Amino acid sequence: MGLREPTVFILTALARDRLHGYGIIQAVERLSDGRISLSTGTLYGALDRLERDGHVAFAGSEQDGGPARRYYQLTDSGRRLLADEVDRMQATAATLAAEIQQAWP
């Protein structure tokens, strides 16, 4: 299954703990050094697909004075998906680094 870059960051944002929607947006911005600024539409488009495919699950709602916030967490399948993607990225980076080292010894 192919993953888009924002999806990799969304999964990574959820790796440590459950988060609500805006919490994920903030975590992705922090993890990407401000490079990826998710809009609400992009976030929920990805979360809808990840939830449908069983990689992310509902993790309760909390009300803090205002309307209830819906929390999300990674499932075991989501953790495997993220780990596989990180392995793939590391393998690609190693191949590129080896090629560069040969080209510019």
Partner 1 sequence: MTGRSGAMSRAARLVIDRWLPATIDREAVQVTAAAALANAGPFGQVREIASLLGLGLRLRSRSATGDRPRTIVGQGVIIGLVAIAALACGALLGLSLAAVQILAVAVPALALGISWFDPRLAVAAATVWALRLVATDHVEFVGDLERLGSDVTVSGLVVRWLAMASGVLAAIVIARLAIRRAELV
Q: Backbone dihedral region of 92: left (phi > 0), alpha (psi from -120 to 50 degrees) or beta? A: alpha
Determine if 19 is a binding residue for partner 1 (CB under 8 A).
no
Distances (CA, A) of 27 to 1, 14, 23, 71: 24, 9, 6, 14
Which C-beta is closer to partner 1: that of 37 or that of 90? 37
Cα–Cα distance between 26 and 49 in angstroms, integer? 20
Determine if 39 is a binding residue for partner 1 (CB under 8 A).
yes
Site for partner 1 in 69-98 (CB under 8 A): 69-70
Determine if 99 is a binding residue for partner 1 (CB under 8 A).
no
Give the binding site for partner 1 (CB under 8 A): 1-4, 7, 20-22, 25, 37, 39-46, 48-50, 53, 55, 66-70
